[in-house]
Structure 1
Amino acid sequence: MTDPTDFTALTDDQWAQRLTPTEFRVLRRAGTEAPFTGEYTDTTTNGVYRCRACDAELFRSDAKFESHCGWPSFFTPLAGERIIERRDTSAGMARTEVLCANCHSHLGHVFTGEGYDTPTDLRYCINSISLTLAPAE
């Protein structure tokens, strides 16, 4: 029997039971939600953004910034070991995909060199549907 805390061992059928069809398409099939439609695109609430699939802490609200790209943007993850970055050559371009290190679900992509006035030269462009927000108390 699969250990329910080992998210990397879940089958597609198990993920499909845990997630809505749209969540499954984005998180498990590396889909993308439409720009300017996600619930966290313009959110300014203080708190911690977690992986919607496994609840792992990924980003803090103080690293979120307005990039006007249509998706929530962060200049750094909570900690480097919380995410996996891997080369993505789908859609006819070379990008860096961002995955949750705990469950290997697709979160979005990271871009560099765009000139945003942030402490890093990075923009973690993350699908809202890949996240949940735990507001600060």
Structure 2
Amino acid sequence: MRLALIVFAILTGTACGANAQHLKSTKGHENNPYYSNTDTKHLAVSDAEWKKILSPALYATAREQATERPFTGQYWDKNARGTYYCAVCGNELFRSDAKFASNCGWPSFYQAVRKNSVIYKEDNSVGMQRTEVICARCDSHLGHIFDDGPPPTGKRFCMNSISLDFQPDGLGK
């Protein structure tokens, strides 16, 4: 069985660790009644409710705007083909074909999967003027956007890995 899993990981282009991380990250969603890869309706969930549902690390990033340390998240250097979803609510956010190696230490994308999947908010914290990227479905912090990305948009969506779930192509939703 183990050999079959290793062969599957090699054939699908996902490293065993990357696939295991995906399964681990989505496993906890059975206790999250708000998680859906297909529902796009805006959620009105209190931070107190999210705190009961989310892991402490995800809560800190998604609800309290914490940032994971660079080069530590599971997706910053992954190149597998698939779709990235909000780890809090399952909202579809980015496709891997919009991901690029920015070498900033966080996963970077040049565009969101659709115009209304994320929203933007001015962020003047930590003595910098930035634009925060928020999940349009659950209002969770994902990261920031900068104007130093590649064509065709010139944008760099600099996201926290912990705020993302990844579904490799071919595994279904």
Aligned to 2:122, the other structure's residue is in SS state: strand
Distance in 1 (alpha carbons) for counterparts of 2:141 and 2:110: 18
Count, aligned residues: 132
Q: How much does 1:64 deviate? A: 0.2
1:128 aligns with 2:161: yes
Alpha carbons 2:150, 2:156 under 8 Å: kept: no
| Residue number in structure 2 paired with 1:84 | 119
Distance in 2 (alpha carbons) for counterparts of 1:132 and 1:12: 20
Cα RMSD for the two superposed structures: 1.3
Q: Deviations over 1:7-62 (max 9, x none)?
A: 63212221012111010000001110000000001111111100000001000000
Alpha carbons 1:86, 1:96 under 8 Å: kept: yes
**TM-score, scaled to structure 1:** 0.91
Q: How does 1:1-137 map to 2 (within 5 A)?
A: 5=34, 8-112=43-147, 114=148, 116-137=149-170
Alpha carbons 2:110, 2:150 under 8 Å: kept: no
Bigger RCO of structures 1 and 2 (CA < 8 A, at least 6 apart): 1
Decide which structure has the larger Cα Rg and report it.
2
The structure in which a higher percent of residues are helix is 2
Unaligned runs of 5+ in 2: 1-32, 35-40
Aligned to 1:24, the other structure's residue is in SS state: helix
Distance in 1 (alpha carbons) for counterparts of 2:42 and 2:60: 17
The structure in which a higher percent of residues are strand is 1
* Structure 1 stretches of 4+ moved >3 Å: 4-8
Aligned to 1:71, the other structure's residue is in SS state: coil
Q: Which amino acid aligns with 1:56?
A: N
